[in-house]
């Protein structure tokens, strides 16, 4: 586990503040934490899917991706949602049907598709895993407003290509790395079931961070360390500054 975490910690400019852990381990936070975590897993899948659709595949493949996401989106966007029925559904559970066709003219398209499709599949799976834990604990799903974290980084994304894509990939790397660091730091304070689950997530989240970062490097075709350092600072500021909202990626609680 330490081996897995070492590069993640080195990549991030700060550790999660102890005050966030102290708040997160309080019993009354558990429902909020799991609901936001669940939201984040879906968001992670949707964000990656958006990147694949926008940059890497043809129109028909884009439609196939939307079909894959549909049951998840239908579940979260309806008010009379039934968690048990959703989790018990049988038809093509978490499956992309058919092959995707890379869009012509984007050299790194196939690499982006391969890495992001695996990531999307894992994030949908994590979404279902969190939902299962919530169902067992009688915590209903709800769509809560996202915190300031991802937005706080996205507003620094440059507005011309390929810089936009490169920055979005770097932001993706930070979100994944922070999730990984937070899961590891919070796990010892949770009950056994959640502890095991959070530790089981570390490996894939560490890989997601590496995948985003290596895609950003490959697509840039030049050294991106200055840009990475810039976002490291923005990210650390969001994590260390006090935050009046509690979320999975919130800053130090007020
Ligand atoms: Fe995940
Ligand atoms: Fe992830």
Higher pLDDT, 41 or 96: 41
Residue count of the chain: 254
Considering only CA atoms, give the Rg of the chain.
18
- Tokens matching residue 208: 């997601």
For residue 127, the model assigns a pLDDT of 96
Residue 214 — pLDDT band, cuts 50, 70, 90? very high
- Ligand 1 center from residue 175 Cα (angstroms): 10
For residue 96, the model assigns a pLDDT of 84
- Ligand 1 center from residue 15 Cα (angstroms): 19
The 3-class SS string of the chain reads CHHHHHHHHHHCCCCCCHHHHHHHCCHHHHHHHHHHHHHHHHHHHHHHHHHHHHHHECHHHHHHHHHHHHHHHHHHHCCCCCHHHHHHCCCCCCCCCCCCCECCCCCCHHHHHHHHHHHHHHHHHHHHHHHHHHHHCCCCCCCCCCCCHHHHHHCCCCCCCCHHHHHHHHHHHHHHHHHHHHHHHHHHHCCHHHHHHHHHHHHHHHHHHHHHHHHHHHHHCCCCHHHHHHHHHHHHHHHHCEECCCCCCCCEEC
- Ligand 2 center from residue 94 Cα (angstroms): 16
Residue pLDDT, tens place only, 32-53: 999 999 999 999 999 999 999 9
Nearest 5 degrees, angle CA 96-CA 97-CA 100?
80
- Ligand 2 center from residue 193 Cα (angstroms): 20
- Ligand found nearest the CA of 115: 2
Residue pLDDT, tens place only, 172-197: 999 999 999 999 999 999 999 999 99
- Ligand 1 center from residue 105 Cα (angstroms): 30
- Tokens matching residue 39: 């939201």
Pick from 248, 195, 246, 250: which is nearest to 40 by CA? Answer: 248
Residue 93 — pLDDT band, cuts 50, 70, 90? confident
Mean pLDDT, the chain, integer:
94
- Ligand 1 center from residue 121 Cα (angstroms): 9
Residue pLDDT, tens place only, 132-163: 999 999 999 988 888 999 999 999 999 999 99
Q: What predicted TM-score, i.e. pTM, was given to this entire model? A: 0.96
Q: In whole angstroms, what is the distance from residue 50 CA to residue 66 CA?
A: 10
Q: How far is CA 57 from CA 165, 208, 221, in A?
A: 15, 20, 21
- Ligand 1 center from residue 201 Cα (angstroms): 7
Pick from 147, 164, 146: which is nearest to 216 by CA? Answer: 164
- Sign of the torsion formed by the C-alpha atoms of 173, 177, 52 and 42: negative
- Ligand 2 center from residue 124 Cα (angstroms): 10
Q: In whole angstroms, what is the distance from residue 30 CA to residue 35 CA?
A: 9
């Amino acid at each position: 586990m330490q081996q897995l975490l070492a590069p993640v910690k080195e990549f991030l400019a700060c550790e999660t503040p102890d005050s966030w852990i102290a708040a997160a381990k309080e019993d009354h936070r558990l429902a909020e934490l799991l609901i936001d975590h669940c939201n984040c897993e879906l968001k992670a899948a949707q964000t990656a899917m958006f990147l694949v659709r926008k940059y890497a595949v043809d129109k028909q493949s884009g439609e196939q991706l939307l079909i894959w996401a549909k049951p998840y989106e239908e579940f979260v966007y309806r008010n009379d949602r039934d968690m048990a029925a959703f989790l018990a559904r049988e038809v093509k559970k978490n499956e992309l049907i058919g092959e995707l066709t890379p869009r012509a003219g984007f050299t790194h398209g196939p690499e982006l598709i391969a890495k992001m499709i695996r990531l999307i599949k894992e994030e949908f799976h994590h979404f279902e895993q969190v939902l299962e834990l919530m169902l067992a604990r009688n915590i209903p799903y709800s769509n809560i407003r996202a915190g300031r974290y991802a937005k706080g980084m996205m507003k620094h994304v440059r507005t011309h290509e390929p810089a936009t894509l490169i920055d979005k990939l770097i932001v993706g790397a930070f979100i994944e790395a922070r999730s990984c660091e937070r899961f590891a730091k919070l796990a010892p304070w949770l009950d056994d079931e959640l502890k095991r689950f959070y530790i089981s997530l570390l490996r894939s989240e560490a890989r997601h961070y590496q995948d985003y970062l290596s895609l950003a490097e490959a697509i840039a075709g030049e050294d991106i360390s200055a840009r990475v350092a810039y976002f490291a600072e923005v990210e650390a500021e969001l994590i260390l500054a006090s935050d009046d909202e509690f979320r999975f990626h919130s800053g130090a609680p007020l």
